[in-house]
Amino acid sequence: MKSPLLYSLPWASVLLPAIHGAPTGGNPPLRGSEDLLGYAASNTVTDQTTDDIPYVPVPGQTEAADVGVYLDFEDAENPQPVRGDVGGTDPGPRNLYYDQINSDKLAPPGTDNGQTINAQWPMGLSHNRLGLNESGWARQENEVVMPAATAMAGVDMRLEAGAYRELHWHVASEWSLVLNGSCRIEAVNENGQTFVDDVSAGDVWFFPPGVPHSIQALDTGVEFLLIFDDGSFSEDNTFLATEVFAHQPRSVLAKNFDLPLAAFDDIPEDELYIFPGTPAPANIEEQNVTGSAGILPRSQSYSYHFSEQPAHEVQGGSVKIVDSQTFPISTNTAAALVTVRPGGMREIHWHPTSDEWTFFISGKARATLFTAPSTATTFDYRPGDVGYFPQSNSHYIENTGDEDLVFLEVLQTDEFTDVALGQWIGSTPKQIVADTLHLPQSALDRLKTEKMYVVAGSNVSDVAV
Binding-site residues from annotation for Mn(2+): 168, 170, 174, 213, 349, 351, 356, 395
Three-state DSSP string of 396-437: EEEECCCCCEEEEEEECCCCCCCEEHHHHHHCCCHHHHHHHH
According to DSSP, the residues that pair with 389 across neighbouring strands are 356
DSSP codes of every residue in 244-273: HHHTS-HHHHHHHHT--GGGGTT--SS--S
> At 142, is the secondary structure helix, strand, or coil?
coil
Which among 91, 149, 68, 209 has a CA at the least distance from the CA of 387?
A: 149
Task: State the Cα–Cα distance between residues 266 and 261, nearest whole angstrom.
Answer: 11
Please confirm, yes or no, whether 141 is among the known catalytic residues: no
**Known binding-site positions:** 168, 170, 174, 213, 349, 351, 356, 395
Taking CA atoms, 440 is separated from 286, 340, 443, 452, in Å, by 69, 29, 5, 22
Name the active-site residue from 63, 77, 409, 450.
409
Which among 459, 372, 386 has a CA at the least distance from the CA of 116?
A: 372
Which among 202, 186, 215, 216 has a CA at the least distance from the CA of 285?
A: 186
> At 133, is the secondary structure helix, strand, or coil?
helix
Q: How many CA atoms lie within 13 Å of 228's alpha carbon, on the beta-carbon side?
A: 23
Note whether 345 and 215 are within 8 A (CB): no
According to DSSP, the residues that pair with 139 across neighbouring strands are 128, 156
The conformation of residue 229, written as its DSSP 8-state character, comes to S
Note whether 319 and 453 are within 8 A (CB): yes
Q: Which long-range contacts (CB under 8 A, 24 or more apart) does 188-194 make?
A: 188/212, 188/213, 189/296, 191/293, 192/291, 192/292, 192/293, 193/293, 193/294, 193/295, 193/296, 193/297, 194/288, 194/289, 194/290, 194/291, 194/293, 194/294, 194/295, 194/296
Specify the amino acid at residue 292: S
Task: State the Cα–Cα distance between residues 274 and 388, nearest whole angstrom.
Answer: 28
Catalytic residue ranges: 409
